[in-house]
Amino acid sequence: MAKYILRRIGFMLLTMLLVSIAIFLISEVAPGDVARHILGQFATPEQVELLRDQMGLDQSVVVRYLDWLVGNDWRLWRLVGKPLRYTRVGQYDSPSWYAVEADGTLKQWRMKKGTGLVEIRISPDGKREEFLFEDWQIAEDGSEIFWGVDTADHVVLWRKGEEAQKVGPASAGRTMTEASGVEYYPLRKGLLRGDPGISLRTNKPVGPTLVRRLRNSFVLAGIAFVIIMPIALLLGILAGLKEGRAVDRTISLFSLITTSVPEFASGVFLILLFAFWLKVLPGAAVFVSDVAPFMQPKLLILPVLTLTLVEVGYVTRMTRASMIEVMNAPYIRTAFLKGLPYWRIVFKHAVRNALMAPITVIMLHVNWLIGGIVVVESVFGYPGLGMYMLDSALFKDINAIEAGAMVMVALAVGTQLVADIIYTFLNPRIRYT
Amino acid sequence: MTVAADLGKSLDTGKRRWRRVWESVSVIFRSRVAVVGLSIVIFWVLVAIFAPVLAPHSPFAQDSAAINKPPSPTHPLGTDHLGRDILSRLIYGSRTILLLAPISVLCSVALGTLLGLIGGYYGGLVDEVVMRILDAIMAFPTILLYLIIISAIGPSAFNVVLAITFVGAPGIARLVRSLTLDIRVRDFVAAAKLRGDSDWRIMFVEILPNARGPLIIDAMLRVGYAIFAIGTLGFLGLGLPPPTPDWGGMINEARKYIWTNPLGVLWPAIAISSLVVGLNLFADGLREETTRYQ
Amino acid sequence: MQQARSAPILKVQDLAIAYETRKGDITAVRNVSFEIRRGETLGIVGESGCGKSTVAFGIVNFLGRNGRITGGRILFQGQDLVGRSEEELRRLRGDRIAMVYQDPMQALNPSLRIGEQLSEVLVVHRGMKRKEAEERCMQMLQRVYMPDPASVMRRYPHQLSGGQQQRVVIAMALLNDPALLIMDEPTTALDVTVEAAVLDLVEELQKDFDTAIMYISHNLGVIARVSDTVGVMYAGELVERAPVVDVFLRPHHPYTQGLMRCVPRLGMDKASSYLYPIKGRVPPPDHLPPGCVFEPRCPYARPACCETRPELRQVADGHWARCLFAEEVAQSVWAPSDEVPARLPAIHAAAADDKPLLVVRDARTYYEVPSRQLMGRKQLVKAVDGVSVEVRRGQTLGIVGESGCGKTTLVKTIVGMEKPTGGEFEFMGVDIAVPVSKRSLEVIRNLQMVFQNPDSTLNPSFSVGQQIAWPLRRFRKVPHNQVRGEVIRLLEMMKLGERYYDRLPRQLSGGEKQRVGIARAIAGLPAMVLCDEPVSALDVSVQAAVLNLLLEIQAELGTTMVFIAHDLSVVRFFCDYIAVMYLGHVVESGPVEAIYAPPYHPYTEALLSAVPFPDPTVEQKSIRLSGSVPSALNPPSGCRFHTRCPRKLGEICERETPPWQDAGNGHRIFCHIPLEELRKVEAVVTVPKKTDN
């Protein structure tokens, strides 16, 4: 069994690797220039070129993929000659990259208009000082150069004499004020080390937003899951036991119809019914902040109900099919012929075997649940991960899309692994081989 | 043998063949659920075919005097935020969806069948590679995959078909693969192998025809899913670019005005729900009937 | 005591059972009457679909949602079970009436431990405490000779072998000391040696518990062995009921007679005897003939038979038959109908060419299986390990052995569906140690195969004609416009005729499918046909027809055949040479008569003593093999049979590979025991001189 589980974990890691490549390729290599997209229609070719350089888009796909996945500070620190650290100085500052001296002093460099290159030193006790930089190195061609870290998280090559300020256009929260270097390498810690990068849409780090949104979605999906499972399993078992009878037909028809209606349609029906006509519940688009769902739990009712309607039918149908199969199995016939009471047969002999198959399918269905969440969140304007993904997709915010997608896929694959492990524990045939 | 007798025989054969076809078709009528489903589907297909005759207005004509109006004799289902006739847009919208959904399902069936046959028949490393890639695709929540693909390649009818093909193919490949694994160990496949038949012949002549039953039913369920998906994409603003009449897109545009004109979202929601429900009732009823007879 | 013995435990009177279908009610069983006394075994025999199992489930009224008893009485210990409430029946089931049926693996719940499944019977019916119940279960497991009962109690079904599972199911049935035990094909899924041991066990337990047993089987041999009384069922009716010897030696019903004539008896061979199949097929339950149900297939049918439905009546003391003319049928000398050829042309004449057509030397076929250990290496299954056989032109080689002995793998390797690991394969002078794709069309054409399972041998999507036409076009390049004629000629040769041309496989019966499969195999006029258990999935009456067909083909086309089977009577009848396989080795080979007489290889001896022959007068030595077949993953050293051999000499058998000993006339035995010793062994099976029939 250990072998089986290790094999599953191996497959999961392999799947995640393939998924990360796929996500990266689809979103980064897809037609359309990201830099042009960010800068808008009116940017000059030079400006686009500069942004491409700053974003590292001029490097090869493989390098960019590895940077995105595992970061590049461990590679780029050689250029600077000092270890690099991603850290937060003041309590309210956003974290940034620094070069670290042996004594713990953090350093950044900045080209100051009219003055030249300025070195920013932050000593371990938090004191911040600025000095005019003079330690230029002589390059092979004789020019004076310096590799350093700028204040916008790039490793930059400055050349003395080429200090002209190039100012890029501002767009969507992103300001391009400092662009004085000759070469740029954007510093990243990498997705695997917990840094998905900066959102192109908001110009803020993706990570913290993602966490908040994920929590909100968990609340929504978790409540739905807790409601769906007992109802669906119960209905499925009941329908399976009464195969072909009126109870079964009613349950089957009901579950087929509710699963068939798309989430956005059932959401619309529910809003119209409860919010518009009956006026008993709040409807859509009233979540103003990321924490709103906790302030007003009533707001959760309709989104949860919508999710439940769509998902409950699917699980019911799976359970029903499995129950019917098991009840027709020869060992259930044996149980009957042993003269066991009906409910003992159902609960002891049938249910356990009947739930074994759906459990994998149900867990697989977490995929659908996640998909459903995207739509439901969009219908109700719920500030969850799904909504975040949709907004990012509409904006082509590739950093956010990539990170969000990886999180979602990891969740989906993770639940599958959990399902596999539960299955092995339920199924002695796998457990004892 | 005389020519007449020969002719009679071939007529007889023809008749028998028709009876066989009728026998398999008539299965539908044994299930009330399937008949109801089929009627709904046929209704929408007829609406789509006769759209120009049925629609009272052009789906694009804007009437600035009638914006977000409730139903009236000239606009039986009311108008939307640009003053367009909702009924006409619904009627034309059925064309879009009933064209794109089957096309994308056909494409994914073709792709999925090929992958599934190859993986299942050859097994070993080929199978392993194909399955790992398909697993990776299937690890994505469906809508997420649509989001990524459409946001990367942009919304258009062609891209929607492409995305649905890509997303649907792995499921079909898995189905075909499992059917292939089951069929390829049967003796008639062994007979073909030891006759030295080519792999392609074995895959497409010996194996594929015997997988058609579950495949057809799966494809039919998938048309439902495809409509579901096209609607969802439209709703999320990733579907067909406006002003194409598209049910999901109609809901997306109208939901900003849901408090002033609730019918603007209700009609397309009913339309798409009824079509998907109809298709699924039909496919499910058919599956129940065919499996009962095995 | 005598009084108690004579009162029947079960008395079934005019039982009728119907199933509700879309086309209306279909009566599956009607007018069935019989009784079983204490300590008595009633064997119910009949072909598939004749309603045997329906009767069994009818007794405990467990007929599924759409089945119900429509008439008659079922008196169990004097009380009528028909019309009892579900709760009353439930109390009887598993307590007073127990059932054992086919496929023990399916009968046990895969996710519950054996102990749990056994003890709950006692907990529910006897209200025993769990501890006490488990004690009793372990005693019962010991009683059915289960090694290490305590550990078995903790195991799951899949951790036991098929024979062990069946012992568990039997133990489960006997826990409450039932008055009636219904056994529905309990040994059909088991190998002969395991079957023999289970049958011994049943016999022994019956003596100890004095249970009444209803034993259902399609296998005439098993029925002959276990029964005191036999009931023969046909198309939902009990057509004959009599003591076992009477049924087998003095059958009064034409159907029973037909059955006896179509199974090969011991001592029959193809040169001197003929199997007479029953013509036609069993009528479906919704299209029964108006008169006697057997009338359309009966060789004695008279006009009266079409009109009156005969009653089951006593024709001799304790002998009941459902035939208007039973007395005449029993007396009259039966003559084969005109359809049967008087005698087949001598087959051996074709063997004039003495050069072997197929030579296999030291064939080895190994499979790799992934290891069960975490980092373990791949393991090798040595399915065929050093087999040498030769087949001469026009002759038939039979390969016998139990499942897992490698017989099918050997054949698959010969036809090129498995890659040989080593050894020489020569066919018509050409090296064929290569997969099919590397063989010439000529070799492929000349080496074809007939498969076991009629339901999977044909492609369900194409008509019979299309499936036969393809090899014709492929191998013989028959011009397009002549294909149809040629297919029809082949169909006629298979006694099927033109009307089958457009039929789909699902419209054919098992025997017909098998004939089409044979037609497809011989379409290219191959020199050799390999038959993998071609008749084992067929009913006996159909078996005979297919065997005859194969013999005719061989006579007409001079085809050489390799015939795999586990049924030793069929092999004896059909083959010229036999090779006996055990765990990847051939242990004995030689001309057919030599195999069935001493000297035997100890395994052949055990096999012969285990096979149930369809003749209650046959005397068989009882040699039972202990344990089960070892895994081919890790075969025993020295002689592979040494772990189970009743004649094991000692250490030499474990250490050294046995020598091939030549007993003359091509008869070879792979054993350490000297030939002189083996010659002294007396014959396992003795057939008493026939007095009548």
* ipTM entry: 0.84
Q: In this predicted model, which residue has the larger pLDDT, B36 or A424? A: B36
Which residues in chain B have Cβ-Cβ distances shorter than 8 Å to A256? 277, 280-281, 284
Mean pLDDT over B138-142 rounds to 83
- In this structure, the number of other CB atoms found within 10 A of the CB of residue A227 comes to 16
Q: Are strands C79-80 and C24-37 parallel, antiparallel or unpaired?
A: unpaired
The strand pair at A96-100 and C660-662 is best described as unpaired
Do the chains contact at A374 and B143, CB–CB below 8 Å? Answer: yes
Mean pLDDT of A353-364: 74
Judge whether residue A392 has pLDDT over 80.
yes
Rounded mean pLDDT of A139-151? 81
What integer is the mean pLDDT of B261-276?
89
Nearest residue in B to C417, CA atom: B194
Token pair 């019979």 is found at: C464
The pLDDT value given to residue A30? 64
Cβ <8 Å between B139 and A269: no
Task: Name chain C contacts of B190, Cβ cutoff 8 Å.
Answer: 417, 449, 451
The residue assigned the tokens 């003391």 is C317
Chain A residue with minimum CA distance to B274: A261
Give the whole-angstrom CA distance, residue A378 versus residue A285: 9
Distance from CA of C74 to the nearest CA of A (A): 17
For residue C213, give the 3-state DSSP assignment: strand
The strand ranges marked E within C137-266 are: 180-184, 212-217, 229-234, 237-243
Q: How far apart are CA C650 and CA C672, in angstroms?
A: 10
Our CA-based measurement puts residue A345 at a distance from the nearest CA of chain C, in whole angstroms, of: 11
Q: Are the C-beta atoms of residues A85 and A106 closer than 8 Å to each other?
A: yes
Q: Is the CB of C474 less than 8 angstroms away from the CB of B195? A: yes
Strand ranges (E), C204-273: 212-217, 229-234, 237-243
Touching B (3+ Cβ pairs <8 A), the chains are: A, C
Lowest-confidence region among B159-163, B187-191, C145-149, C489-493: C145-149
The residue type found at B286 is L
- Give the C-alpha separation, C671 to C587, whole Å: 8
Which residues in chain C (371-430) have CB-CB distances under 8 A to chain A? 372-374
Q: Tell me how far apart the alpha carbons of residues C585 and C388 are, in angstroms, rounded to a whole number.
A: 9
Q: Hey, what amino acid is at B154?
A: G
Q: Taking 50 as the threshold, does the pLDDT of residue A172 lie above it? A: no
* Cβ–Cβ gap B152/A276 under 8 Å: no
What residues of A are in contact with residue C109 (Cβ under 8 Å)?
Answer: 331, 334-335, 349, 353
* C396 DSSP β-pair partners: C561
Q: What's the confidence (pLDDT) of residue B140?
A: 83
Higher pLDDT, B193 or C343: B193
Q: What is the pLDDT of residue B4?
A: 46
Side-chain-side CA neighbours of C139 within 13 Å: the count stands at 9
Per-residue pLDDT, B1: 39
> B196, C456: Cβ pair inside 8 Å?
no
- Walking along chain C (693 residues) 10 residues at a time, the average pLDDT comes out as 63 91 84 91 89 90 86 90 88 90 84 91 90 92 86 88 87 90 87 87 87 92 92 92 90 89 76 78 83 88 87 88 84 58 49 75 86 66 88 90 87 90 90 88 92 91 92 86 91 88 88 92 92 87 87 88 88 90 92 88 91 84 81 84 88 90 89 89 75 43
- Asked whether the beta carbons of A274 and A300 are under 8 A apart, the reply is no
Residue of B nearest to A365 (CA): B141
The pLDDT of A204-219, averaged and rounded, is 86
CB atoms within 10 A of CB C2: 5
Chain A residues in contact with C124 (beta carbon < 8 A): 338-341, 344
What percentage of chain B carries pLDDT values higher than 70? 91
In percent, the amount of chain A with pLDDT more than 90 equals 4
Q: Do C456 and B188 touch (CB under 8 A)?
A: yes
| A187, pLDDT greater than 80 | yes
Contacts of B194 in chain C (CB under 8 A): 415-417, 436, 444, 447-449
Nearest to B195 among C456, C459, C471 (CB): C471
Does A14 contact B132 at a Cβ distance shorter than 8 Å? yes
Assign domain B31-292 to its CATH architecture.
Answer: Orthogonal Bundle (1.10)
The Cα C358–Cα C527 span in angstroms is 10
Q: What is d(CA B174, CA B98) in angstroms, rounded to the nearest whole number?
A: 26
- How do strand C447-450 and strand C528-532 relate by DSSP bridges? parallel
CATH number for region C391-419+436-578 = 3.40.50.300
**Residue with more model confidence, A287 or C242:** C242
What would the pLDDT profile of B213-256 be if each residue is shown by its tens digit? 889 888 988 998 899 889 999 898 888 887 888 898 888 888 88
Whether B190 and C461 lie within 8 Å, measured CB to CB: no
CB-CB under 8 Å, A265 with B251: yes
Q: Decide: helix, strand or coil at residue A157.
A: strand
Establish, for the pair of chains A and B, how many residue pairs have beta carbons separated by less than 8 Å: 150
Chain A segment 30-49 residues within 8 A of B by beta carbon are 30-32
Give the orientation angle of helix B263-292 with respect to helix A263-270, to 10 degrees. Answer: 130
**Subunits close to A (at least 3 CB pairs below 8 A):** B, C
**A170 vs B: CB within 8 A:** no
Place of tokens 């079983």: C36
The pLDDT value given to residue A216: 87
pLDDT at C230: 94
* Residue in this structure with the two tokens 């870290």, named with its chain if needed: A149
Task: With residue B104 as reference, give the H or E element that holds it.
Answer: helix B86-122
Looking at the complex, report in whole angstroms how far the Cα of residue C415 sits from the nearest Cα belonging to chain B: 7
Residue of C443, C449, C461 to mutate, interface with B, max B Cβ within 10 Å: C461
Q: Contact B193/C457, CB-based, under 8 Å?
A: no
Can you tell me whether residue C99 is helix, strand or coil?
A: strand
Length of chain B: 294
Mutating which of C93, C101, C109 best tests the A interface, going by the most A Cβ atoms within 10 A? C109
Enumerate the β-bridge partners of residue A87. Answer: A96
Chain A window 354-393: which residues touch B at a Cβ cutoff of 8 Å? 367-368, 370-372, 374-375, 378-379, 389-390, 392-393
Shortest Cα–Cα distance, A375 to chain C (Å): 40
Q: Do B210 and C459 touch (CB under 8 A)?
A: yes
Residue of C456, C498, C532, C564 to mutate, interface with B, max B Cβ within 10 Å: C456
Domain borders along chain C are 104-175, 245-331, 391-419+436-578, 586-686
Residues 6+ apart with CB under 8 A from C687: C265, C266, C267, C615, C617, C618
Please report the number of interchain residue pairs, chain B to chain C, with beta-carbon separation below 8 angstroms: 55
Q: With 60 as the cut, is the pLDDT of residue A175 above it?
A: no
Q: Which tokens sit at A229?
A: 């499972």
